Structure 1
């Protein structure tokens, strides 16, 4: 039986990103997104899901693993985060599920990205996490970004030389080790964060991983903060990558992007709705499973590798044949004369 479509609000704010942004600016960014969310909740009835872009929820989630050691200078801050983060999550859930709000009989779930600080016995690990919160303010799904951006989220070989992170303005991010699904009314969303949507084999492997477990992935969702690019053509490029991921997997893809370009893309690659660049806008979209099985899931990247191999073979064959039949090498830019020198000196009749 066909499942009913879901009504999803993609909250696109417009806040450029600065590497030296302080905590107060982060809180202001949260207020900006909260206002857009309240407006969406007021204007649209029966929202099933509200999605914020990457890192727009400023407060981090803190996890204390067994044997955790918190540095003395971080203890007070850790306690503040452990107290304030659950409170802020519950407040967001309450705002989306007010009893006197339109469509209050429909539970509205909240999907957002934030940092997860996991303190262990040896060190603190930082993850970029997508969290799904139910109507009671409980986290029911967590996905840790699996493909970090070089120099933006990690420095090569810094694991061997940890002091590198003491002299640069970024903190190394730990990559997640498994995909996750976020289930909303029996519809499974497969999340990816930021530029993960530019990595085709990653998205394919995540979808196939759940298919092996008998869990169908119905919708792809990209949570991204493109405020780093100040409205440049990178935003258009990122959107086009999303179109390709939708086609390759025959899954609808929704994008929640800070500063744009948020979008709702069909499994055929058609962009149904899209937001502007560097302007706030709430996109309320309808998503429904596609149901098709893509050829890319069966063949993977073998056709591309076959074409690359064939190109190398043809190039090698051309070089070998040119040597065997004695085709002379010519220097670039030198064109042989059309008339032989001896013919040029013959008198005309």
Structure 2
């Protein structure tokens, strides 16, 4: 004989929601609300409600296994809308065909859905173990899983929930407290409040409805008031003088970029744009990732051309180029160089967070038959740490492409003393999809988290100059050739997130584990285990 569950949940939602059509509607609702609220689509406000359908799917499941299946299916659909561009990247620039490209997009969406599935299982279990009040732990578990996604298997923190606020000037400002994870926590909390309000509505408890709706409103109000309250106070130290920065966006076609016969033309384009930028007052000019498509320093003729650009314009250059280190059998790096106004290389940063299958093949001995998507047969190696540049007396922290989505990489540079940030990238791989817009939005969040201006140079766009509040002061769109010039104000402010790092996210992991191991209670107060609640 089967015993009663810890608490009857049939009253949480209308019975029609648990029917087969209702379940499919919930799948569609979660997928659309979650994806369309993210950068690239950018429908405002959806992230405050997007997790409610997932909570309904989870709590109305008959068992944890069903909750896992539902979460996995819903998560796959949602993420497929967000990372469909992977199919284009593999099929067109990678020349591997649409069949393989579509399969890769589906597999990565399924991988990301695993974390949504685990969130659904957690919601199901705490709902049954602790009653509806157990769902207040869901935001903690959500952050735990997002952090796990950011660090496991080299990490893929693409479009965490908090990024849905990246394009709203007021709502994103609280990122300087606990990073994008803190924003995700607050959004998940607002979603739980709305779920609770719905559950109270199903029971006809008007007071409970108003109380929980007030909780969701309080989350939004906190974000708005924090953002409006001057969250970028003047540093107690001297922030430094304004630096006028120029970006050269060459829009070099991927099909000819690495062609030796086209290298001189590429450098001619950047030479002309650098001259134009300096004529507009630029004190430093930034070129995109691998804008110099050769091994700088090892190819004297082409390297001399780059050196001459700095000398003739009397301006420092920050540019991307591959680098070869002959030590330890020879290693290849995706690097950023600082070239002084006298044509002398003054610094180099080697990319540390490499793109799997793009810049290297993981498990190379096992997957020996695969070839990376980028040019050349050899894998790139990862750099070993931050390397600050000094431009006009101010330390600058550099990142390359995908590294901008890792807060920890940027934080290391800030902790080392970087007063402004530069990110060089080549988003031509993404084509005219949502991905370049997503990539820019995530980079903007780094400016808010650490209160540092960010200069982002992209080969095919979107290049941008971003202030410490995440506002874009100048930009150049996709597939356009040209320059942008704007002023930035280097900063020495140290935010709460810069000081504490991911302590908040790690704390969420600990709390989640505790919720999974401590026993729950029946509604009359007797302790019970999950097994006892399932069978007499």
Partner of 2:101: none
- After superposition, the C-alpha distances for 1:278-336 in whole angstroms (9 at most, x for unaligned) are 1123110111123321111222111112223333433555778664695448xxxxxxx
1:149 paired residue among 355, 372, 390: 355
1:225 paired residue among 426, 445, 453: 426
SS of corresponding position for 1:286: strand
Partner of 1:205: 412
1:280 aligns with 2:484: no
Partner of 1:51: 286
TM-score by length of 2: 0.50
The alpha-carbon deviation at position 277 of structure 1 amounts to 1.4
The alpha-carbon deviation at position 154 of structure 1 amounts to 0.8
CA separation of 1:19 and 1:30: change in aligned 2, threshold 3 A: closer
Q: Is the helix fraction higher in 1 or 2?
A: 2
1:87 paired residue among 299, 304, 310: 304
1:190 paired residue among 386, 397, 400: 397
**1:120-159 equivalent positions in 2, closer than 5 A:** 120=327, 123-158=329-364
- CA RMSD, 1 decimal: 2.8
The alpha-carbon deviation at position 20 of structure 1 amounts to 8.9
Q: Is the 8 A contact 1:27 1:58 kept in 2?
A: no
Asked which structure has the greater CA Rg, the reply is: 1
2:502 paired residue among 283, 301, 304: 301
CA separation of 1:166 and 1:277: change in aligned 2, threshold 3 A: closer
2-structure distance, mates of 1:124, 1:311:
45
Partner of 1:96: 313
Q: Is the strand fraction higher in 1 or 2?
A: 1
Q: Is the 8 A contact 1:5 1:288 kept in 2?
A: yes
Q: Is the 8 A contact 2:353 2:382 kept in 1?
A: yes
Q: Is the 8 A contact 2:311 2:343 kept in 1?
A: yes
The alpha-carbon deviation at position 254 of structure 1 amounts to 1.1
1-structure distance, mates of 2:340, 2:449:
30
Partner of 1:8: 245
Q: Is the 8 A contact 2:357 2:372 kept in 1?
A: no
1:246 aligns with 2:483: no
2-structure distance, mates of 1:190, 1:112:
13
2-structure distance, mates of 1:258, 1:307:
38
The alpha-carbon deviation at position 21 of structure 1 amounts to 4.5
Partner of 1:75: none
- After superposition, the C-alpha distances for 1:15-58 in whole angstroms (9 at most, x for unaligned) are 2424995222344333332232233233x13x210100001112
2-structure distance, mates of 1:303, 1:167:
36
CA separation of 1:20 and 1:162: change in aligned 2, threshold 3 A: farther
SS of corresponding position for 2:470: coil
SS of corresponding position for 1:127: strand
The alpha-carbon deviation at position 13 of structure 1 amounts to 2.3
2-structure distance, mates of 1:48, 1:13:
19
SS of corresponding position for 1:15: coil
2-structure distance, mates of 1:189, 1:167:
31
CA separation of 1:174 and 1:129: change in aligned 2, threshold 3 A: same
2-structure distance, mates of 1:34, 1:231:
27
SS of corresponding position for 1:296: helix
Gaps of 5+ in 1: 64-80, 98-107, 211-215, 330-349
TM-score by length of 1: 0.75
- After superposition, the C-alpha distances for 1:44-89 in whole angstroms (9 at most, x for unaligned) are 13x21010000111231246xxxxxxxxxxxxxxxxx1x2144213
CA separation of 1:22 and 1:251: change in aligned 2, threshold 3 A: same
1-structure distance, mates of 2:531, 2:371:
61
Q: Is the 8 A contact 1:189 1:218 kept in 2?
A: yes
2-structure distance, mates of 1:261, 1:20:
18
1:30 aligns with 2:30: no
Q: Is the 8 A contact 2:351 2:382 kept in 1?
A: yes
CA separation of 1:26 and 1:164: change in aligned 2, threshold 3 A: farther
Gaps of 5+ in 2: 1-237, 523-527
CA separation of 1:96 and 1:315: change in aligned 2, threshold 3 A: same
1-structure distance, mates of 2:297, 2:477:
34
